[in-house]
Amino acid sequence: MSLKDQLVEDMKAAMKDKEAGKLRLSVIRMVRAAIKNAEIDKKKEFNDEEVIEVLVREAKQRRDAIEEYRKAGREDIVEQLQEEIKVLLHYLPEQMSAEEITALVHEIITRVGARDQKDMGKVMGALMPKVKGRADGKLVNQIVKEALGG
């Protein structure tokens, strides 16, 4: 079953759950709309890999918004966004731990021969395809900077 089909099935289940499935239903509807809009922009139907890109983008938007709402002291909205992220993570591949990312970063630094911050582009270029959809870009960036002595 494709991810898009899974979203449709889960949306139906959330509708049947009435009150208990309201948050899940609204998140799934938002994601399906984002996927549809992206498909219209690209003028093609998305496969699972492209759907994952949309899901990652939606989760990232919510993580970024959490920081802003925390600064504003809006913990009620922060909690809701965290719940939305949990729903999105259900559809994403299992996320890598910081330890797994660090090990992969060191392996790639050795392979590309990176020595300092100037080589960050080389490292990120080789690393991002391997962690795509499985790790937060900010975390990856932070780990690479630390590994390169930044």
- For the chain, give the longest Cα–Cα distance: 56
Reported as a pLDDT band with limits 50, 70 and 90, residue 150 is low
CATH number of the 3-89 domain: 1.10.1510.10
3-61 confidence digits (pLDDT tens): 999 999 999 999 998 877 799 999 999 999 999 999 999 999 999 889 998 998 999 99
> What is this structure's pTM?
0.78
Would you state the pLDDT for residue 9? 94
Residues in CB range of 88: below 8 A, 6 or more apart: 27, 31, 55, 58, 59, 62
Would you state the pLDDT for residue 130? 86
Full DSSP string of 55-71? HHHHHHHHHHHHHHHHH
CATH topology of domain 98-147: Arc Repressor Mutant, subunit A (1.10.10)
Would you state the pLDDT for residue 149? 79
Domains of the chain, residue spans: 3-89, 98-147
- Across the range 88-99, mean pLDDT stands at 89
- Across the range 134-145, mean pLDDT stands at 86
